Structure 1
């Protein structure tokens, strides 16, 4: 089932936002995973550095890439139950970085990339500052919806459900939105997240600005109007 998300009077046809079904998977681990990014990897150019290897534009860090360097089979816009918020300090973007609290009230906009389970393990390892090359055991996250692989910022795996009978997985911090100090995200980071959402074709510029301006960490520091001006800048 899908729903269309766009404001009245949108000047272009918007892609459907896909609905994630609340379900769990027991038994054999699937070959395919919807790796679901709510942050900078919504942008396909940045995701390509995690898959094929290399340094994204403006990044100081070079990623080794996945063992399987094929691009995602598909990428689709989705909304997850939970909340995007900004906390800690990003060494790449400066300012707060994006985290996802699946237990918080609200909806999180994201982009689901259809990759192999091996690719998901390698992408997650790089986000965890680990060396890719080993397959994660996904049994616990698929069964219970959560698996803390370590105390690090992106070492907690989350399964939000299934899409087309394929599990929807992401990773975040072990803490919740109310358990950490919120930090204002930088202009460059806000603009990059907006570009990834816009690239999906599901949300228009004003909708994206309204959404980001309401996220904890950005709220009170970035207004929707300021974000619209930011998106119009070169």
Structure 2
């Protein structure tokens, strides 16, 4: 695996590439949830049925990474009934877990459109790639190019501005369970480790205690079995 965080592919090359790594850090770390964005369907715990991508083909490959972008919970997502997770767009000392899916550029753009409640974003690709300040409407309106892996760019998206105060809405239990499944089954964390990771993120405490998060992790794993 050849990961180069500091190597950012040139704009012209990005516009020509057929595939990209979509680096997910929230509920999409759980493939069952993410594949609803690919093939359509209603994720467990969500109130929204996703329409899916134009191309329903599942990812070519799935990898896990730890990158120097701090994750935090903020704002409010109707589909989950609580605060969703974002990453600070600026690099920092804290690392976050990512599950990366190798998908087509078209699929990545379709996923980004669904996340932001937009019909399409393909027409905005050139602007997003060439202008680092370019934004889309929606909670996840900032596209980020965070490096390359095996010759393909690593893309993700987040909110362009981190709130100065913590959200009054804690993350919802179904949302946390979905993330916990991704942390345990894709990133290889034990139940206690996954709970501790979430507890370290802004917006989780004091709404949830460590013991409550461990209980959620255990319950999430039992449902998988």
The answer to whether the superposition gives a TM-score over 0.5 is yes
Q: Deviations over 1:71-98 (max 9, x none)?
A: 0011111112111101112212222110
Q: Which runs of 5+ in 1 are unaligned?
A: 3-18
Superposition pairs of residues 1-234 of structure 1, within 5 angstroms: 19=3, 21-26=5-10, 27-29=12-14, 30-103=17-90, 104-132=92-120, 134=122, 136-138=124-126, 140-141=128-129, 146-176=132-162, 178-182=163-167, 183-233=169-219
C-alpha deviation, 1:57, in angstroms: 2.7
Give the whole-Å Cα distance in 2 for the aligned partners of 1:162 and 1:133.
22
Q: Deviations over 1:148-194 (max 9, x none)?
A: 32242111101111112211111111102x53533421222211101
Give yes or no for contact 1:86–1:218 (8 Å, CA) kept in 2: yes
Give the whole-Å Cα distance in 1 for the aligned partners of 2:128 and 2:118.
20
C-alpha deviation, 1:133, in angstroms: 7.5
Give the whole-Å Cα distance in 1 for the aligned partners of 2:45 and 2:203.
23
Give yes or no for contact 2:45–2:175 (8 Å, CA) kept in 1: no
Q: Which deviates more from structure 2 when the two are superposed, residues 29-38 or residues 218-227?
A: 218-227
Q: Which runs of 5+ in 2 are unaligned?
A: none
Give yes or no for contact 1:159–1:168 (8 Å, CA) kept in 2: yes
SS of match in other structure, 1:231: helix
Question: Aligned in 2, Cα 1:210/1:109: closer, same or farther, shift over 3 Å?
Answer: same
Q: Which deviates more from structure 2 when the two are superposed, residues 130-139 or residues 56-65?
A: 130-139
Give yes or no for contact 2:116–2:137 (8 Å, CA) kept in 1: no
C-alpha deviation, 1:106, in angstroms: 0.6
C-alpha deviation, 1:136, in angstroms: 4.3
Q: Which deviates more from structure 2 when the two are superposed, residues 218-227 or residues 40-49?
A: 218-227
C-alpha deviation, 1:54, in angstroms: 2.0
Q: Which has the higher helix share?
A: 2
Give the whole-Å Cα distance in 1 for the aligned partners of 2:183 and 2:164.
27
Paired residue total: 215
Give the whole-Å Cα distance in 1 for the aligned partners of 2:88 and 2:187.
24
Relative to the length of structure 1, the TM-score reads 0.82
Q: Which has the higher strand share?
A: 1
